[in-house]
């Protein structure tokens, strides 16, 4: 359809006939997100609150469909780019968010860390240097005042405010560290997402980003798992995939909306989570945790 045909179609949303409106909405959904600018223009020029609400719902549905399609495409592509996965989640609430802008922000953090963090020292000292930059100079910290806010799962908000939940802080720390060449990865512990420093030479230890980069050992994980009355499993000790990470982020976001009593968004995020889950998959216990 050309622009004039799309505008004519949208004008029929103000029709009094319910069947006509349903047909028009169906056609608009078939066109997809390309129609959103035309819908926004119609909304701005309308003084009919019912029409405006109908347009708002259509725009949201189109944007949400785009998010789902992007998630599936990202997963089917192997989920190689973690930042892209985080961007897709953030576009659920910030549809105009630029992935290039996020890359620029992360590149600036990397440059700031590159000037300060030495990578030719003992692994523990590398992490101590990273901690000094991340917490003292970049000023990242847990959002303890509003821990369950959905904003804590939005990468753009965490980068802007320097406040987040455990996993969002871990991921920014991890992505900067990896750009520095440090072998730091995410680990799916029950109730707590942590990082591991796992070098090819066999050196491995863990980092609690939520506790200012505290370093701990495999024995500490053994003790932690025992306290939870769980059997040890590789997932509690070894790096997880980007798809696992994004699933956990979505689980956190879903629980945040649930705690806020927002049933509609809770259900929508649940569908996003399902889009990343194959029928044969079983979500690990740690996917069901809020942190």
Q: pLDDT tens-digit profile of 132-144?
A: 999 999 999 999 8
Report the distance separating Cα 101 and Cα 64, nearest Å. Answer: 21
State pTM to two decimals.
0.89
37 vs 184: which has the higher pLDDT? 184
Q: Identify the band that residue 288 occupies on the pLDDT scale cut at 50, 70 and 90.
A: very low
Q: Are 143 and 199 in contact (CB under 8 A)?
A: no
Average pLDDT, the chain: 92
Strand partners, 186: 195
Tens of pLDDT along 66-116?
A: 999 999 999 999 999 999 999 999 999 999 999 999 999 999 999 999 999
pLDDT at position 279 is 61
Helix, strand or coil for residue 233? coil
Q: Which domains does the chain have, with CATH numbers?
A: 3-76 (no CATH), 88-288 (3.10.620)
Cα separation, 252 vs 245, whole angstroms: 11
Percent share of the chain, pLDDT over 90 = 74
Quote the CA–CA distance of 74 and 236 in Å, as a whole number.
25
E-strand ranges in the chain read 141-142, 163-164, 184-189, 192-198, 204-208, 214-216
Q: How far apart are CA 33 and CA 264, in angstroms?
A: 21
* pLDDT of amino acid 286: 43
Q: Is 263 exposed, middle or buried (0-12, 13-18, 19+ CB in 10 A)?
A: exposed
């Amino acid at each position: 359809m050309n622009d004039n045909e799309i505008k004519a179609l949208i004008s029929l949303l103000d029709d009094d006939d319910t069947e006509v409106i349903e047909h028009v909405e169906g056609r608009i959904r078939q066109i997809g997100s390309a129609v959103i600018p035309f819908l926004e223009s119609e909304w701005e020029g309308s003084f009919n609150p019912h029409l405006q609400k109908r347009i708002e719902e259509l725009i949201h549905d189109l944007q949400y469909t785009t998010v789902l399609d992007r998630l599936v495409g990202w997963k089917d592509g192997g989920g190689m780019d973690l930042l892209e996965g985080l961007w897709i989640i953030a576009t659920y609430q910030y549809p105009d968010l630029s992935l290039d802008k996020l890359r620029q922000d992360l590149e600036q953090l990397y440059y700031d860390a590159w000037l300060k963090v030495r990578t030719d020292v003992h692994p523990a000292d590398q992490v101590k240097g990273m901690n000094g930059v991340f917490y003292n100079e970049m000023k990242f910290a847990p959002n303890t005042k509003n821990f369950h806010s959905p904003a804590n799962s939005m990468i753009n908000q965490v980068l802007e405010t320097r406040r987040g939940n455990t996993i969002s802080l871990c991921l920014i720390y991890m992505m900067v560290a990896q750009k520095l060449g440090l072998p730091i990865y995410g680990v799916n512990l029950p109730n707590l997402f942590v990082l591991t420093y796992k070098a090819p030479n066999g050196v491995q230890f863990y980092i609690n980003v939520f506790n200012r980069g505290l370093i701990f050992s495999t024995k500490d994980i053994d003790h932690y798992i025992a306290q939870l009355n769980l059997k040890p499993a590789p997932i509690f000790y070894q790096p997880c995939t980007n798809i696992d990470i994004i699933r956990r982020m979505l689980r956190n976001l879903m629980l945040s909306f649930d705690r806020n009593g927002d049933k509609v968004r809770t259900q929508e995020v649940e569908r996003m989570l399902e889009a990343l889950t194959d029928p044969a998959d079983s979500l690990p216990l740690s996917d069901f945790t809020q942190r």
